[in-house]
Structure formats: C-alpha cells, structure tokens
Structure 1
Amino acid sequence: MSAEGARRRGPGGGRKDGGKEGSRRQSGGRRDAPRSAGPRRDSPAPRQVRPDARTVALSVMSAVRERAAYANLLLPSELTKARLDTRDAALATELTYGTLRTQGLLDRIIAEAAGRPVEEIDPPVLDLVRLGAYQLLFTRIGAHAAVDTSVEAARTLGLGRAGAFVNAVLRKVSAQDLDSWVEVLRKDVTDPVARLAVGTAHPEWIARAFAESLGANAGELPELLAADDARPKVHLAALPGAISAEELALVTGGSEGVVSPYAVHLDSGDPGALDAVKDGLATVQDEGSQVVAIAASRAPLVGEDGGRWLDLCAGPGGKAVMLGALAEIEGATVTGVEVSEHRADLVRQATRDLPVTVLTADGRDPGLEPGFDRVLLDAPCSGLGALRRRPEARWRKTAADIPGLVILQRELLESALRLVRPGGVVLYATCSPHLSETVSVIREANRRDDVELLDVREILEGIDGTSTEGLGDGPWVQLWPHRHGTDAMFMAGLRRLESAPTSPSRGQ
C-alpha cells in the first residue's frame, strides 16, 4: 500500500474495527480469562488457547522466509488450523499480506530506526519488528498494543533479550507516521520513478520496468503502482457449457467481469466454500488469464480447425481448464505438456472431466508430432504482472532473473512454432509486462519468414461481452490492473504461413 493509499483509506487501511484495537487487544489479540489462584484439582482442564491473528501472521512470514513458501497458498490452511473468528481471520490476512507486501519499505524504515542494516538483525526478531512496524504505520491498531504484543511475542518465542531491542526500535518507528518516514527515505532521492518506488513499496527496478512498458502512458505509473498494492478481488471463471457468468453472479452475489465473458468478481471471501466451485461449475481464475485461453481458442486460422489443440506449458492447470471447456464445446481435444510431474498431476486433476490429455515433458522438445491447429504458450516468466496476488514476490525477484527467463521463453516459442501447422496459430502469453519478456520476444520471432502477427485486439473484439477499451495500439495486448482490474497479462498471436511472404516488409 502506498503512503497516498494509506491517506485515502485512513490510517487503518480500511479496517472498521481497528480503532478499538488498542483498548481491546492489549495481550496480543486474546481475551484473557480472569486470573485465579490456579486450577482446582476437580476443575476441568484449562481450555486450549487458540493462536491469535499475529501468531498466524508470524507463522506464515516465517515459512515464507525459511522455506520460500507462498503466502497465498499457505495462509488459508493456517487460518483453518487456528480456527479464528471472522474478525481475527480478516486481521491475520491483513497483517500477513500487508507486512509481506511492504517488506522492503518496512526494512528501510527499520534500518533507520535501529541504526543498523536489517541484515544484522536476527531473522526471527526482524519478522517481529516488521509485523509491529506494519501495525504502527498501516493500521489503526494502537501504538501501545502494537509494541506490547510484539515484545510479548519475543518472550513467548524464546528470543531471549530481544524484547528490549524490539521495544526500542518500534518506539522509534511509532514516533513518525508513514508519510513522514517516506519523506525521510526520499530526502536524497531526486529521480521521480525512484521516489514513487519508495512511497509504494516497490523495488525500483520493477517500478522502472512498469514505466518502460507503459511507454507514452508512463504518467499512469502512480495509478498502476497503487493498484498493484491494493488487495485484489476474487475472480471466478464460469466454465463454458456449465454455467453462464450471469448465473454464477446471481448464485454467488458477485458481479460480472468486463474483459472476459465468463468472469465474475467477488469483493472477498473463501471461493473454495462456494457451491458452484465445489460442484465444478466454476473455478478461481484471474480474468486476464481467462482472456488468454479464450483468445487462443478464437484466433483466426487459415483452413479448417481440425480440433487438435496444445497447451505447451500447462501447469498448474488454470488455463488448461478453460481451454479444455472451450475445446469440448468445439469438439476439439487438448494436449497439455508440463515439465514438472507434480504440476502435471495438478493439471490432470483439474481437467479430469474435460477432453485434455496431459504429458510430462519439456515443452522445448516434448516429442510430439507437429500439426497442431492451436498452441497456447503461457510461458514461464517473472510474474511481475501478478504481484498484487503474491505479496512476497516483489522482494524475491531481481533484475538478474530476467535474462535466463527470456532465453527459455524464446526456446519455448520456437518449439511452439515448430509444432503448429501452417495456417495455425500460437498464442504467446506472460503474466509480466516486462518488455524483455513480451515485446522483445515477439519481435524476435516475427523476424522469421514463415510467421505473421495477428492483431489480438481484433480477436478480443469478436468475443461477446468483452470490453476492448484501453487495449493499446496493437497488435499485441497488455492488460493492466489499474485499467482492466486484471493481472498484467500480455498476449500476442502468431500465425504460421503456408509459404514465405513475397513482400520483404515484416511490419512490427
């Protein structure tokens, strides 16, 4: 969350109950039982104290740090085990995702307050300080409660005399509000993108990559970074042939999407508990990912569609499900390829009732007979387009990750173009707006004499109910969270030619 976002939402980031936190949760979020002289011999065993919201947040943060766990995958199970009530579960979610999302900004503030680099602070202690600092700067939790519960946690976790250090640092953090701390950090920063990165808790290299991808629309960068920091809505996909988006919206209380004709948005909640999801009528899938699969199924071919479709990087299976449902309607079949056996099993499980066959193989050389009518290549990428759904990801990625990914993306695209028949189409997609992973890869492929670019905007315009506003100049399409409410998905269509064109011009 940016400093500006915190001002808009109020110091509590939108939590209506936060103003009571200081008076009601002085002991770490538990309602402590009255003290007594001790249990009587004939009294029942003491009730087991459930973990509170902060304990759950610390547990997830520790797992993310120690074993590179994914918070969005781990937190739901931790909430279930903790059996928190609705209010505390919401607080645990806010503390976990918020602390992880703003970690880089918090670390800079902590370093200023502690007078030492965060690398010199023991990791478990640093987790405690980060969690306390997030409460102080981004929520309405009272300063006294935020500091005292952090100090108490140090004692409970057996961190020795670290409580005194935690207390001292957090009291220094509490001496200034978020805006004041941001100004302290910006005092020697003159570059406008770098200043935005500081205030919105983004690594500078990511903010700069977003600005470069926006190009002439780089003035939208503040809006994009703010959208990237906001908690996203839950996106559902109504499975084609099973239920319509209108019906799904009615039974879930959600609202229909604007980019995908199968999308439904929910403000919050556990989508796994919905009957439509449990019954296999809908899945959880970002609206932008839905559009990628739809575009792959609708791209214009030369010649008839023989119904032989390929998902070249199918794991973990979200797009394979949508593509399989669309293939079933069209009388086609899908071959899914996934290099990881575990992820291949996930695809098999997700598509078990659809015309999808899954192979465990390397997409660069899967050993398949060429001649596919349609190939979807959702290439492995940096994932910079989905940072809002993966709060810890922005601090795990580095600019050094990009070159190796680009090599892999180009090799996979070469494989896709070998496997598609003349007249067939490859739909290339990444969940990243980084120009090296998107436009650069496509321009390289377009140098081939047997490839032509399709205008993906025209493909999307042919999909009923889809809004094509703000899709750019083409021929590729870049979706954005601040414009479309989706992850920042990129997609480009390439059609194999029957023979090399007579004109030397290659357009883009």
Structure 2
Amino acid sequence: MSGGFRSRAGGTPPTPPTTPAPSAAGRPGRRTHRGGRENATAGPAAHSRRGAAGSGGAAATRGRAGNPKNRRFLAPADGPAVDMARRVAVDVLWKVREDGAFGNLVLPQFLSEAQLSGRDAAFATEITYGSLRTMGICDAIIDAASDRPVGRLDGVVLDCLRLGVYQLLFTKVESHAAVDTTVRLAGLLAGGRVTGFVNAVMRRISRTPASVWLDTLAPSDPLARAAWMTGHPGWIAESFAAALAAGPEDPRPRPADGKLPADLNEALAADSSRPGIHLVARPGELTQEELCALTGAAPARFSPYGAYLDSGNPADFDCVRQGLAAVQDEGSQLIARALTEVPVDGPDGGRWLDLCAGPGGKAALIGGIAAIAGARLDAVELAPHRAELIRKTVRDMPVTVITADGTNPPLEPGYDRILVDAPCSGLGALRRRPEARWVKRESAIAELTELQQALLESAVGLLRPGGVIIYSTCSPDIRETRGVVDAVAGSHDNLVELPAGSYFCGMRDTGGFASVQMWPHRHGTDAMFAAVLKKTI
C-alpha cells in the first residue's frame, strides 16, 4: 500500500458503514405538502447548526464564531490570500450545511455577488458541486485520516476539508495547492489554531492515490460497493437496482448479491454526472428550429420542443427572458406533451387539469398546446407562493390557477385529460441537486406513496369516462411508480393502463411494463416515470 495511509489508530482504516453518509443526522423531515412539488427531505447533510457535537478540545472540534449566520463570501481583505472561487465554494457548503439550502440555487447567487465569471466561475462550480456530490466519500476518508472523528469536527473545518479532499482526489489541482489553500481557508474561517490539524489531515490524504482510498474503504458487498464507488447512499443504489431489474413477473425485486443489473454502475455514474442544459420552446411562440437558431443549441433527441445547450446562462438569451422559451428537462417536456397526445374516447371537450402544478413548467407547456387546440387547463397548487409562480409562468395562456389541496380540490368532475405529476422523493433528479443524496431519507417514501395514491385517486374521481390520466414522478423508485399505479388501478374495475411508449416520440428501452421509465444513462433525461391510465366508458 502507498506510504502515508493510516487511520486514527495507526493501522488500516476501518471499513465504513454499508451506506457512506455524513456523520450526523439532519433535522427531522418536513411533510411534503399536498398538491405541490416539494420533496420530503431530512435536512442538512452534516452537523447541527452549532457545529461540533462535542465540547472542549482543540478549535477544530469546537463551534466557533467563524460561522456568522449572514456570512456570504469573504471579501479579499479578510485575511491571507485565498482565491475567490474557493471562498465562494466554501460558503455554499456552509449554507447547505447550516441552513439546508439547495446548492444549485445558492451558487449562482454567490457567483454573482463575487462577480466571478469565465474560468473562475467554472472552477468554483466544479469544486462546489463535486464536494457536495462526493460528501459521503470525503467524510469517510477524512475520518480514516484524522485522529478526531468526523462527527466531532467543527462544521466550518469540515466544510474546508471536504472542499480540499475533493480537489486532492477528484480534480487535476496540484496536491500542494489543494493542501495550502485548504489550510489557509480553514485558518481564515475558524482561526489559526486549526491550521495544524487541517494541514496534518490533508497531507496524510495527499500521500495516497484516490484509487487506493476508494478500494480500501469500499465495502465488500457488491451493491454497497457500487454505491460507494459512485458516491451514493446504499439505499439509493438499491432503489436504482430494483427499478432496473423490475419486470412484470416480479415488479418489486430485491437484487441478490452478485446479480446486480448489468447497467447499474452506468446508471449510478450518470446520476453523478453534471446534467446538460435542456431548453423548451413554448408552443405557439417559438419553434424548435427557431430556438436552436437563436441560442446555438442543438435539437433535442426526442422532444419536438426541446434543445440542448452545451454551456452558458440561458437567461442571457432574449427568447428566455421574454418567456418564449424556458429551461426544462426533456423528460418533463415529453410527459407534458404526452398528456395532449393520448386519444380520449369521444369528443375532447377541452377540459384539462394539472393536479400538482407547481412550479409550473409542465403547466406552461400544456397551456401552450391548449391554446392551439382550443382547450383550457386548470392548474392546482396548494402553496400560495408557488401558485403565484405558476400564474407568472402561464400568463396570456388559457390556464386558470387554483390554490387548493390536490387530494380534494373544489372542482367539478368531467375532465378529459388529467396530469398527476406527483410530489416524490426526487431520486431521479439527484444530479441537479448534488447534496440531495446525502439529505434524503428512505423513511420518507412511505408517507410520499400515501400522498401519491391519494392524488391519483382524486384524479380518477375527477376524470370523465373515456378520459385519460398520466401519472408521473421524477423518481424511479418502484414504490413510487409501479407500486402506486398498480394499487390504484387494481382498485378500480373501470381503469385500464395503456401502453405509454407510443406517446414518447420513439423513445426505446423504457422498461418491461406498459409505463415508461426514463434514465440519464439511456435517454439523457432525468430518471422520470410515466404511466397512462384510461377510464372505460
């Protein structure tokens, strides 16, 4: 083994738990509101708001005044020179840990405040998202290389170490630069007394290649090893494996050791890759061809409204600022379009419903098509502030936004088409929120499936005979997908499931069921699910 590798006890580092995860539980999960799109999560990934779990000892294991609650990034005159990209990155990590903030929402704000652009902004983005995405791996390595358990480290010190370890093991940053900047950043934030500790940990880690750290700390169980190597908690890797292996004969399998789906590692790796930028042209406002000409984007593989943008800020384009186009994953576009394409029995009376409409992306696409088709869309959202966001998004469209509980909305039955884009765990969109995998808890899924079934039952009651429902989630977890569809469809003799693949623009390899399961590694979309149900006459 390479020199310099040692644990707190001076021997081979202990094998981490089957699920590599931050060392302390977050705040209790908040209940997903009904009719909206917020996911149940467990709170910050790492430590309490006060930082350290213990008391006394060195500064590295104590909460310090280095964490002012309103701190943004450090001004250049705050202390020893540390580049602004790393200062912004550590502040995002701090905000995520302290306040449970979404890294993908906080980072653009901090980049703007710091006036970073070009290569500096790209570097800040890479080390921020990378540190959040590999947080469980970094914590296990820090724990193995430190003489103090990760759970007792001051939160700011841990932020700095995570950022430094990611640079050491997963980027081309020179070892001495990663060590030096991490030490100076920790001293600046937490005080000079922590620099010796941080320096020692970083140097121990730097002496051993990333491949050796990963191989040595990886669990022996094949599924747990796949999770570890791709930076996932074990339960998420198991969820993906079950979804990839599921078939009509056994829709809820538990993968056996050594018999994992052939593309599980590919699926997990794609889930850890940064997603591309998907644009959508608003129907009736802009064509796909016009969108590509205005932005330099390439036509989407499946969606006739979609385009792929390699890089840049979509808000820089006039067509996006004017609402003629928007950012929307191609999978979401296909689901919204499919609702308008599935044939209904009898005349389409133009009464369409989006039962869980927030924040409004699918409602806007459906609303644009409704305007062309002479239909009207009702969009239901429980949270008033999210309902207002929908109103702004669908302005000038034939869309009525209703603030109500989707499980019991004040609506007259008789809808021709209903979309139930249900609140879910969001496991299919983890690549867009790099810290989310370490925040979410499997225990939330039982409550979510109860809500999902209630929403789908509500839709069945609102649907006219001969009408269609699309049930969709941004999760591939079979409890939230096939489990919900089978439970509801099985309790209604007049509800049949139709083959959904016919309405997804030639998409192939979408699973062994009548429903469609998309995957980043197969289709380039988020791992979204959709099933088509029709009420018989």
Name the residue aligned to 1:210: 240
Q: Does 1:412 align with 2:455?
A: yes
Larger helix fraction of residues: 1
Q: Flag the 1:156–1:190 CA change in 2: closer, same or farther, 3 A.
A: closer
Structure with higher RCO (Cα < 8 A, 6+ apart) = 2
What percentage of residue pairs aligned between the two structures are identical? 52
- Residue of 227, 230, 238 corresponding to 1:197: 227
Number of positions where the alignment pairs a residue of Structure 1 with one of Structure 2: 449
- Residue of 449, 453, 458 corresponding to 2:497: 453
Name the residue aligned to 1:421: 464
1:18-65: CA deviation from partner (whole Å, max 9, x where unpaired): xxxxxxxxxxxx9x99xxxxxxxxxxxx9xx99710111111111111
Name the residue aligned to 1:16: none
TM-score normalized with structure 1 length: 0.85
Task: Tell me whether 216-225 or 473-482 shows the greater mean CA deviation.
Answer: 216-225
What is the aligned-residue RMSD (CA, Å)? 2.0
Q: Does 1:393 align with 2:436?
A: yes
Shift of 1:160: 4.5
CA distance in 1, matches of 2:187, 2:221: 43
SS in 1 for 2:525: coil
Name the residue aligned to 2:524: 485
Q: Is the 8 A contact 1:456 1:474 kept in 2?
A: no
Within a 5 Å distance, the mapping from 1:171-320 to structure 2 comes to 171-186=203-218, 189-215=219-245, 218-320=261-363
Name the residue aligned to 2:121: 89
Q: Is the 8 A contact 1:258 1:467 kept in 2?
A: no
Task: Tell me whether 80-89 or 160-169 shows the greater mean CA deviation.
Answer: 160-169
CA distance in 2, matches of 1:168, 1:287: 46
1:325-369: CA deviation from partner (whole Å, max 9, x where unpaired): 111111111111111111111111111121111111110011111
Q: Is the 8 A contact 1:203 1:395 kept in 2?
A: yes
AA matched with 1:137 = L
Q: Is the 8 A contact 1:457 1:474 kept in 2?
A: no
SS in 1 for 2:214: helix
Name the residue aligned to 2:372: 329
Name the residue aligned to 1:14: none
Q: Does 1:131 align with 2:163?
A: yes
Moved beyond 4 Å, runs of 4+: none
Q: Flag the 1:50–1:352 CA change in 2: closer, same or farther, 3 A.
A: farther
Q: Is the 8 A contact 1:50 1:83 kept in 2?
A: no
Within a 5 Å distance, the mapping from 1:98-137 to structure 2 comes to 98-137=130-169
Segments of structure 1 that go 5 or more residues without pairing to the other structure are 1-29, 34-45, 461-465, 499-508
Name the residue aligned to 2:87: 55
Task: Tell me whether 49-58 or 374-383 shows the greater mean CA deviation.
Answer: 49-58
SS in 1 for 2:432: coil
Q: Is the 8 A contact 2:111 2:117 kept in 1?
A: no
CA distance in 2, matches of 1:197, 1:212: 13
AA matched with 1:450 = N
Name the residue aligned to 2:96: 64
1:274-305: CA deviation from partner (whole Å, max 9, x where unpaired): 12211222110000010110111111111111
AA matched with 1:454 = L
CA distance in 1, matches of 2:149, 2:399: 52
CA distance in 2, matches of 1:251, 1:240: 16
CA distance in 2, matches of 1:153, 1:280: 41
AA matched with 2:327 = V
AA matched with 2:130 = G
CA distance in 2, matches of 1:246, 1:162: 57
CA distance in 1, matches of 2:434, 2:150: 20
Name the residue aligned to 2:250: none
Task: Tell me whether 243-252 or 425-434 shows the greater mean CA deviation.
Answer: 243-252
CA distance in 1, matches of 2:82, 2:268: 37
AA matched with 1:165 = F
SS in 2 for 1:365: coil
Q: Does 1:474 align with 2:513?
A: yes
CA distance in 2, matches of 1:117, 1:359: 51
CA distance in 1, matches of 2:459, 2:239: 27
